[in-house]
Amino acid sequence: MKPDVSETPLLQPRPLFKKTARWFERAKASLFDNLPCCRGCSHCCVGLFSVTLLDKQEIQQGLQSLPSKDRKRLEDTAVEQVNQLRIAAPRLRMNQFVDRWPDDEMDTLVERFDALPCPALERDGRCGVYEYRPLVCRSMGLPMDSDGVVSGACIIQTSVPLIRLSNALREEENLLAGREAEELAAVCHHNGAQGGELLLPYAFLPD
């Protein structure tokens, strides 16, 4: 039996996750907080997407920090979702990793489950493991800048700031992405994993 939260040692998000969250806050502030990302908005918490083994480790720490009844509720939700995914994509029964899936196959599955909420999304819009949320959740919301064209990160962003992120912030973003790749490679090597990316509900399943 897993220990209750009162018996669990205090766990902290790993430095990479903290640095990413701080980077996002600075980037958001540099745009004069002209973003819809705020407490209560959960648009990007609905829909299927992939996370990494790093994210799974972080989520598992978050689950361990919860009272046992809340942890079980989130895990049960994830189990139900995984069962649905396995019916829709039987290959997931053999291998949970999606690193090498063809884009069209992944797109089909994402479209089919576009209304699937994150297992940690609470009824009031809060995240049940907020302090231990995945890296993508810590950086989602900033307008995308590609080939000189700026576009919103989601459909809620009906307008985007005229000011763009500074080169220094973009450089830091690239450094964080490089650090993520290094840490992920180390985890995959240590675990002998067949891949590094898996669909979000799998990250909530106990090891």
DSSP E strand boundaries for 8-123: 50-52
> 41-89: per-residue pLDDT in tens?
788 899 999 999 999 999 999 999 999 999 999 999 999 999 999 999 9
The model's confidence at residue 206, banded by pLDDT at 50, 70 and 90, is confident
Look at residue 11 in the predicted model and tell me its pLDDT. Answer: 61
According to DSSP, the β-strands at 144-146 and 149-151 are: antiparallel
Residues 6+ apart with CB under 8 A from 121: 42, 45, 46, 127, 128
